[in-house]
Amino acid sequence: MSLVQLFVAASEELHFDDKGVVTHSWLLPETAEIIYGGLASLIIFALLAKFAGPQIKKAMAARTARIQKDLDSAAEDKASASKEAADIRQAKGDIAAERNRILAEADAQAASVLAEGRARLATELSEIESRAQAEMAASATRVGDELRAEVARLSVAAVDHVVTGSLDAATQQELIENFISRVGAGR
Residue 86 in any domain: the answer is yes
Residue 118 in any domain: the answer is yes
Do residues 12 and 28 make contact, with C-beta atoms less than 8 angstroms apart? Answer: no
Sequence-ordered list of residues with C-beta below 8 angstroms from that of 7, at least 6 positions apart, any chain: 27
Residue 57 in any domain: the answer is yes
Residue 123 in any domain: the answer is yes
**Rounded to an integer, what distance in angstroms lies between the CA atom of residue 76 and that of residue 70?**
10
Residue 183 in any domain: the answer is no
Biggest alpha carbon–alpha carbon distance for the chain: 195
- Dihedral over alpha carbons 123, 139, 144, 153 (to 10 degrees): 170
Residue 7 in any domain: the answer is yes
What backbone phi and psi angles, to 5 degrees, belong to 25? -140, 145
Q: How many domains does the chain have?
A: 1
The model carries a pTM of 0.34
**Confidence band, pLDDT 50/70/90 cuts, at residue 8:** low
Residue 158 in any domain: the answer is no
**Three-state secondary structure call for residue 19:** coil
**Rounded to an integer, what distance in angstroms lies between the CA atom of residue 174 and that of residue 168?**
10
Which one, of 23, 4, 28, lies nearest residue 13 by Cα? 23
Residue 74 in any domain: the answer is yes
* pLDDT given at position 176: 77
Lowest-pLDDT range of 78-92, 93-107, 157-171: 157-171
**Rounded to an integer, what distance in angstroms lies between the CA atom of residue 118 and that of residue 121?**
5
**Confidence band, pLDDT 50/70/90 cuts, at residue 60:** very high
Do residues 15 and 22 make contact, with C-beta atoms less than 8 angstroms apart? Answer: yes
Range of the domain at 59: 3-140
* pLDDT given at position 109: 93
**Confidence band, pLDDT 50/70/90 cuts, at residue 151:** confident
Do residues 9 and 26 make contact, with C-beta atoms less than 8 angstroms apart? Answer: no
What backbone phi and psi angles, to 5 degrees, belong to 21? -80, 135
